[in-house]
Amino acid sequence: MDLWRRALDPWGQDVLIGVSWDLMWAAIIVAAAFLIGHAVWIKTRPSEAHEATEVPAGIPERIQRHSLASRVFHWTMSASMLVLLVTAFVPVLGLQFAWVEIHWIAGVVLTATIIYHIIHSIGWQDFWSMFQIGFSEGVAHLKHIMSPKAPAPKAGKYPFDHRMFHHANVVVGLGVIATGVLMMVRIDTPFWTPNPYMLADSTWGVVYVIHGLCGVSLILLTASHIYFALRPEKMWITWSMIRGWVDRDHYLAHHDPAKWVVTNGAAPPSVTEGTPRAAETAEAEGASPEARSASE
C-alpha cells in the first residue's frame, strides 16, 4: 500500500503531489469494519448496570443543551463537511464531475463556521467543559466499555468520548483548513490571482499530503460521528442538537449535576449543603449556577 503519490515536476525532479488514494480506501474499509463491529458488539453485550439516581431540587424538566446559535453552527458545519467529503472523494471513487469549485466554496463555508465557533466558544460558551482531558473519567469509561457491570461515569456537559472526538476534530479540522486555504492560492478564485509559485513544488507536495491525510482522517471521524448520532440509545443527544434541550431523566442518568450545573433559578442542593466538592466545582467553573445554566 502506498502512502503518497509522487510525480516528476517540470525540472524532472521526483516530488510529492498528494496522499495515496490507497489510504482513502483503507479509511473507508476501517470505518465500515468499525461500524459493523460496534453494532454486532452492542447486540451481544449484556445489559448495563444502572445506579439509582436521586433527583436534586431545582432541575427543570427540559435542560437547555445547545443554543439556537450553536445548532445553526453545527448543521452548517456538517453540511459543508459532507459537501467537502463528497467533492474530495467521489471523483476518486470513479464518478467524475467538476469538483474543485464546489470544494473550495464549501471549504470557505467550513472555515467561516469554524472561525465563528472559536470566537463563540471562547467568548460565550463554557470553553473548559470541552477542553479538558478528564483522566479518571477516561479510566472509568474504559472500564465500562470492558464490562457492562462497571457503571458509566457521569460526565459534565460533555462526556469523555465526546471530548476526545472533539479534540481529534480540532487537530485534523485545523490541519485541513490551514492547508486548504494555502491550496486556494494555486487555483482560480475571486480572492486573488492564482500563484502556483508561492511555494516550491516539494513544499506544495507536503501541503497536499497533509491536506489529504487530514481529509482521509475525516472519513473515519465523520462516519463514526454519524453512526453514533443515529444509534437508538444516543438519539436523545441527536435530538438535543435539533430541539436544543435534553429531558431531565436523560440529564440525571448521564450527567453529574455537580459538574454540569443546571438549576431552575434555585441553587442545587449540593451547593446549598456546602459540600466542599460542589463548592469547589462551582468556584472552579467561575460562575454562579444561575449564570452557568443561562450562559449557553
Among 152, 155, 184, 207, binds ligand HEM (CB under 6 A): 184
Contacts of 205 (CB under 8 A, 6+ apart): 4, 6, 15, 16, 17, 18
Contacts of 152 (CB under 8 A, 6+ apart): 48, 140, 141, 144, 254
Among 23, 110, 140, 155, binds ligand HEM (CB under 6 A): 110
Number of residues binding to ligand HEM, judged by CB under 6 A: 26
Contact 126, 292 (CB under 8 A): yes
> Does residue 111 bind ligand HEM (CB under 6 A)?
yes
> Does residue 18 bind ligand HEM (CB under 6 A)?
yes
Backbone angles phi, psi at 32, to 5 degrees: -65, -45
Subset of 58-97 contacting ligand HEM (CB under 6 A)? 81, 84-85, 88
Q: What is the DSSP string of 90-117?
A: HHHHT-----HHHHHHHHHHHHHHHHHH
Among 58, 159, 212, 289, binds ligand HEM (CB under 6 A): 212
The three grid cell numbers given for residue 43, joined into one nine-digit string? 447486540
Strands 245-247 and 4-8 come out as: unpaired
Question: Which of 13/295 has CB closer to ligand HEM?
Answer: 13
Among 58, 107, 156, 159, binds ligand HEM (CB under 6 A): 107
Among 153, 156, 215, 289, binds ligand HEM (CB under 6 A): 215
Write out the residues near ligand HEM by the rule CB under 6 A: 18-19, 81, 84-85, 88, 100, 103-104, 107-108, 110-111, 176-177, 180-181, 183-184, 186-187, 208, 211-212, 215, 218
